A and B are shown apart, each in its own frame.
Chain A
Amino acid sequence: MDRIYLDSNATTIVDPRVKEAMEPFFSQMYGNPNSLHDFGTEIHPYMRLAMDRLYSGINAKDQDDIIINSCASEGNNHVLKGVYNDLIRNGPKSEIITTQVEHPCVRNTCAFLESLGVKIIYLPVNSDGIVDVDTLRRSIHPDKTALVSVMWANNETGLIFPIAELAAVCREKGVLFHTDAVQAIGKIPVDVSRVAVDFLTFSAHKFHGPKGIGGLFIRKDLKLTPLLHGGEQMGGKRAGTINVPYLIGMGLAMEMAVDSLNYEASTVRRLRDRLEDAILTIPDTMVVGKRALRTPNTILASFRGIEGEAMIWDLNQNGVAASTGSACASESLEPNPTFVAMRISDELAHTGIRFSLSRFSTEEEIDRAAVLIRQSTQRLRAISSTYKNSK
């Protein structure tokens, strides 16, 4: 049985060309780039190429910084804790604005800052699942607000937030703006020359690069206290010997992700829509969020009468990998805050299944998945105590 991977918002397959590009930097060119000898310096041109690819991938200027780190969780921690230190602990500000639907690495870091006395304002989403520009405008207090942090696209629903408008409001009010762009890079255009973000974070493994490496964009001249103190790597902004092979891989992965944007917008979107259409032909199913407002690869579907974990269990038995944010499948048993924020009814909060494609998804896989999803739905509805099989 060929397995079908439909969980690309969790992580992606490393592109074989990325793996190949990383290969020489394990056992051939293994020097420390901070060394003065040839083992160190021979790596520099490759690092420069990787950095160039990252900069041009998001259209950053040479004077901007892209700090290479371990993941987006680190980048998000760096921004939130750095701004806290610089503008709240040692400055006049007192609050941070974020949303109710951020990834845990933002929400839990904010909760931590709350425990230190910072006021955190969690913006709700509207009925489309989107953060409203006017809601943000009303919530900003220029004398108190240190930072606004809003994700570019949501990991559960794929809904894209109006980052350009949100960033413009912050720029107009003189407040720093951060976006977690993990779910945006490689799916939709991300261009920091057109969008007034001050900080932007990303992670390589969401766009066919390796796990354990990411980046933090910092707009030129902005100060941000380091998260990791130590050596002078990354110009003193992030200590720790850089993971050279992974940086090389991330650089290539970024270039390929940006080159694939048209493919994402056309082919991946077509396959996604094909799967979504197939799901919606099953009675009593729904998909969260308008298609036009979503990243081209994501479907958050609800199958009435079927509990989420039972569904992904059954799909897994048949070789289909999907995910759920419903209470029973997460180890913590917490209800999914995205559903709660979107005021999706409690029944649906336990029936949500996320299918996320990538440029590696094939039409054959999608068609086979559609059949298997229909079979799982039928099997589980047959034993469901709540599904009224009247149709």
Chain B
Amino acid sequence: MAKNDLIGGSLWEQYSNKVSTRMNNPEHRGEISEAEAKELGARLIVADWGAESCGDAVRLYWAVDPKTNRILKAKFKSFGCGTAIASSDVMAELSIGKTVEEALKITNIEVEMALRDSPDIPAIPPQKMHCSVMAYDVIKKAASLYKGVDMASLVEEEIVCECARVSLRTIKDVIRINNLTTVEDITRYTKAGAFCKSCLRPGGHEKRSHYLVDILSATRAEMNKDKLLTQAEARDFATMNLIQKHRAIEKALDEKIRPALAADGGSVEIVDIREGEGTVSVYIRYLGACKGCISSTKGTLQFIESMLKRELADNIRVLPV
């Protein structure tokens, strides 16, 4: 909490002068007619994005030179709040003179930066950031119309937080690399969820296809699974868990020891495995001919222990019961 939050009602006070100016008098408002486009030797693109029912809708007009793919003229119309109008105006302005490919690289973050009065002070309060996303989306729509392709094909990455433009890939990576355990951590590392907060969890301002809470729990589950798999594949006896050690010992018995004992009509089974004080104690019981054999406490025992030591680890002790 800061003093401003306690006083309240500061939404408009947090708009930059540029936002106010463009809201009051958007320079690129209006339409481009077919005739105008023709005169420029350009192809007219009219892209609509959003809906009144969502509280935001924007229409972008582009006159594009078909030979160079360059945007010669851009206009917009908007059903939206001050932020939506101001950011649509900047978005139209930034697209003029660019090729369609170049225009596709304009993000809402760039639009917001262009609306700042000073580089360090945000142009709009955090909760209005999502109003600038509309401008980004409508460019994608216009480009897809121009290229005659599906809009989805132009979105290279799956975006989780539209306001801060953070992709699913980035969020997953950040969780893994930094071993993050809370949603607040994700926001701290990536800024995802710091603005309109819709992507934090279901039930926010907008319905999203991904939520940080779900991504976090899914990624944590994946990480856990990976850890278990890594352990399961452990080659190093010392790092194995008890079940893995048991399996490794059984395997060594099957491959190196039991065939030799079987030749004399005997066998061996594991009764218990205990770890402690730097040693792994394997308790065994002789079966068949080995049972009661004089060598079972001496030569055979030594053979089993040295074989396990060679195959697995030096700290194995074998104890008959």
Which residue numbers of A lie inside 8 Å of B, CB to CB? Answer: 305-310, 313-314, 317, 326-329, 331-334, 345-347, 349-351, 382-387
Contacts and interface: CB of A to CB of B under 8 A. Distances in A.
B310 interface: no
B55 A326 contact: yes
A165 B53 CA distance: 36
7 contacts: A306-B79, A327-B55, A328-B81, A347-B53, A384-B77, A385-B57, A385-B79
A313 B81 CA distance: 9
B56 interface: yes
A384 B79 contact: yes
B77 A327 contact: no
B82 A310 contact: yes
Interface string B5-38: 0001101100000000001101001100000000
Nearest to B125: A331
A385 B80 CA distance: 9
A310 B57 contact: no
A366 to B, nearest CB: 25
Interface residues of B, number: 34
A309 B59 CA distance: 19
Contacts of A331: 8-9, 11, 125, 127
Contacts of B54: 346
Contacts of A347: 52-53
Contacts of A327: 55, 205
B95 interface: no
B58 interface: yes
Interface of B: 8-9, 11-12, 23-24, 26, 29-30, 48, 51-59, 76-82, 84-85, 125, 127-128, 131, 196, 205
A346 B53 contact: yes
B127 A385 contact: no
Given A333-B127, A345-B53, A383 B29 contact: yes
B81 A317 contact: no
A230 to B, nearest CB: 24
B24 A317 contact: yes
Contacts of B59: 385
Contact of A309 (B51, B76, B82, B127): B82
A383 B23 CA distance: 11
A317 B23 CA distance: 11
A368 to B, nearest CB: 20
B36 to A, nearest CB: 17
A310 B52 contact: no
A307 B79 contact: yes
Most A CB contacts (10 A, CB to CB) among B12, B23, B80 go to: B80
A272 B56 CA distance: 30
A310 B131 contact: no
B87 to A, nearest CB: 13
A350 to B, nearest CB: 4
A310 B11 contact: no
